[in-house]
Every structure is written in structure tokens, then in C-alpha cells.
């Protein structure tokens, strides 16, 4: 007697439909693996590079705005040093997302008052010497360093009133500081140093979001000459900037001297590992020096 309702297990093993289903599944898995491999190898690096490039553009915009905000507060102190003005300056420490992988974002490190900075000046006048001493020994910094894997790792540093871009030991000044060298209508050489002192706690933060920095103008101190509004005719001024970005500062002083047609006998420019010294001693022109210290309170909520 035959059992019509059931088939032997061996009949399923020999079924053509079972074999075709297994082959189709294997082909589908192969196509999926090939697709994922293609995306991972060919498209993912491009997407990551685009995301990092977009993020660095945002950081540059934010750091430029930070520098502009400090300049605005400093200008306000020059007009009236009794007025207190507060401004917020957000920095996109991270946040640009990679397409289809929203959990992966760019990031970096924001450091407040952790890098080297500072200014010192020595003026010779009528045989006497005046030094700024420790008044500007440390002026403060805001530095952003990205954690890029595909786009270039450019660090943005605000120091001594300037915004500098550095990469692999090289540096260039993108936005100039409040150190101005000029000639007036009498052909006298004027050196104006408006040093910005960032007063606040030191700290470093790694993040992939936007972090806010709060700036408050605190006051303006006349460093030299002591008597406000009086410019002293000096015989020489020795200005030293302490920095890790010596190339950027050396280029800035060289360009400043060339812009007002100073000759090689009117100044000397030298550098060491962590400083650049601009020694100004015009031969045929009078020299006037004015140095101020603008105090800006900085708060970022980082440790």
C-alpha cells in the first residue's frame, strides 16, 4: 500500500526548487557583500573626506568670528574701558555627519589657555630702559585641533591677537593681530601693540558637537607709556612674541616692515624655537611706541 500524503525526505534533497533557492540566496549575499565592499572602499573615504572638509570650513568660520568678536570687545574698551560687553562665540568642535551613517560624526579638540603665548617689550629712551616685565608674560590662546583621518589636519590657533593656521610644523598668519607698524604724516615710525589677554581657566575638551565660548570685556591697561595719551619718542624698541608658530610671526613682522619701506638697517628680525624678536631702531625717523593690555574674560565650561 502506498502513502500518497507524504514524500520521502530524500525527494526534497533532490528537489530542483530547493537548489535554485539556495543558489539565489548565495548570489544575493554575494551581491550584497560586493556592494558593501564597493561602498566601503570607493565611496566611504570620499564621504568621510567631504564631511571633514565641511567641518573644517565651519571651524574656520567660527574661529574667524571668535577673533572678530575679541577685536570688537577690544575696540569697545578703547572707546570706554568702564563699559562691560558680553558676547557668545560658538565653535563647531564636531558635528558633520557622514551620509547614511548618522552615528559617525567628525570631531576634534578645543583647548583654552593651554598653548604658548606671550609678549615682552623693552624700550630705550634718553639712556633709560623700560620693560613690560611680566604684564604680558602670558596672553592666552584658543586652539582647535581636528581628529581628521582623510582631510588635512590643520590646527587653528588664536594667540596674541592673531589667528594662525598650522600644519606639520609650518604656520601662516591668516588674520593679523593688534600689533601695527605704520608711518604718520611726519614720516615718524609708530609701533602700536594692543595686546589681548584672555583671562580664564585652562582646559581641553574633545567633542563632536558645538561648544560655546562666552567673552566679556573687563578693562584696558596702559602699559607704555605710563601716562595716557602721551607718546614717547624712543631710540629703539625690542618686541618679542612667544609662540610655537614662529614662521607665521616672522613673516608678519617682515611684511609689516616692507609695507612702510623700512630698510635693513632700521630693524632686525630673529627667532628661536619658541619666540620671534623684532628689534626696531629706525636710523632717520623718530620712533613712537604705544602698548595697551586689553583684558577679556573667557568662559567655556571645560576642564
Number of neighbours of residue 40 by Cβ within 10 angstroms: 10
Bigger pLDDT: 293 vs 153:
293
In a domain, 4, yes or no: no
For range 57-83, the mean pLDDT: 93
Number of domains into which the chain is organized: 1
Domain that residue 129 falls in: 9-299
Phi-psi region of 259 (alpha: psi -120 to 50; beta: other; left: phi over 0): alpha
For range 104-110, the mean pLDDT: 78
pLDDT, position 270: 94
In this predicted structure, the answer to whether residue 17 has a pLDDT above a threshold of 90 is no
In a domain, 1, yes or no: no
In this predicted structure, the answer to whether residue 56 has a pLDDT above a threshold of 80 is yes
In a domain, 198, yes or no: yes
pLDDT, position 209: 82
In a domain, 2, yes or no: no
Query: What pLDDT digit, counting tens, does each position of 176-231 carry?
Result: 999 999 998 888 999 999 999 999 999 898 877 888 999 999 999 999 986 655 55
Query: What pLDDT digit, counting tens, does each position of 141-161 carry?
Result: 999 998 887 778 899 999 999
Please report which confidence band the pLDDT of residue 101 belongs to, taking 50, 70 and 90 as the band edges. Answer: low
In a domain, 233, yes or no: yes
pLDDT, position 52: 79
Q: Which three cell numbers stand for residue 282?
A: 629706525
pLDDT, position 260: 93
Q: What are phi and psi of 95, to 5 degrees?
A: 135, -25
pLDDT, position 12: 47
Percent of the residues in the chain that have a pLDDT greater than 70, as a whole number: 78
In a domain, 72, yes or no: yes
Report field, pTM of the whole predicted structure over 0.95: no
Report how far residue 157's alpha carbon sits from residue 146's, in angstroms, rounded to the nearest whole number. 12
Cis peptide before 225 (omega within 30 of 0): yes
Please report which confidence band the pLDDT of residue 54 belongs to, taking 50, 70 and 90 as the band edges. Answer: confident
pLDDT, position 168: 87
Report how far residue 156's alpha carbon sits from residue 118's, in angstroms, rounded to the nearest whole number. 17
In a domain, 249, yes or no: yes
In a domain, 252, yes or no: yes
pLDDT, position 53: 80
Report how far residue 301's alpha carbon sits from residue 297's, in angstroms, rounded to the nearest whole number. 13
Amino acid at each position: 500500500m502506498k502513502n500518497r500524503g507524504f514524500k520521502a525526505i530524500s525527494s526534497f534533497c533532490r528537489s530542483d526548487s530547493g537548489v535554485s533557492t539556495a543558489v539565489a540566496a548565495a548570489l544575493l549575499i554575494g551581491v550584497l557583500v560586493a556592494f558593501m565592499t564597493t561602498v566601503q572602499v570607493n565611496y566611504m573615504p570620499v564621504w568621510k573626506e567631504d564631511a571633514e572638509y565641511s567641518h573644517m570650513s565651519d571651524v574656520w568660520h567660527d574661529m574667524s568670528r571668535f577673533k572678530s568678536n575679541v577685536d570688537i570687545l577690544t575696540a569697545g574698551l578703547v572707546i570706554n574701558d568702564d563699559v562691560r560687553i558680553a558676547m557668545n562665540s560658538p565653535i563647531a568642535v564636531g558635528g558633520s555627519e557622514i551620509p547614511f551613517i548618522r552615528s559617525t560624526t567628525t570631531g576634534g579638540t578645543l583647548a583654552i589657555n593651554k598653548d604658548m603665548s606671550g609678549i615682552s617689550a623693552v624700550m630705550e629712551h634718553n639712556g633709560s630702559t623700560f620693560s613690560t616685565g611680566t604684564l604680558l608674560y602670558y596672553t592666552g590662546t584658543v586652539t582647535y585641533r581636528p581628529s581628521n583621518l582623510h582631510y588635512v589636519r590643520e590646527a587653528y590657533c588664536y594667540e596674541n591677537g592673531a589667528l594662525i593656521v598650522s600644519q606639520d610644523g609650518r604656520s601662516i598668519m591668516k588674520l593679523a593681530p593688534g600689533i601695527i607698524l605704520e608711518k604718520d604724516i611726519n614720516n615718524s615710525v609708530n609701533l602700536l601693540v594692543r595686546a589681548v589677554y584672555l583671562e580664564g581657566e585652562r582646559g581641553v575638551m574633545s567633542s563632536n558637537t558645538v561648544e560655546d565660548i562666552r567673552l566679556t570685556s573687563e578693562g584696558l591697561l596702559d602699559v607704555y607709556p605710563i601716562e595716557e595719551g602721551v607718546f614717547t619718542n624712543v631710540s629703539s624698541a625690542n618686541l618679542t612674541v612667544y609662540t610655537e608658530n614662529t614662521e607665521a610671526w616672522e613673516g608678519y613682522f617682515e611684511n609689516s616692515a616692507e609695507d612702510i619701506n623700512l630698510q635693513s638697517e632700521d630693524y632686525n628680525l630673529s627667532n628661536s624655537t619658541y619666540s620671534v624678536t623684532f628689534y626696531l631702531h629706525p636710523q632717520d625717523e623718530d620712533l613712537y611706541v604705544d602698548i595697551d593690555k586689553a583684558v577679556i574674560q573667557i568662559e567655556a565650561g571645560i576642564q
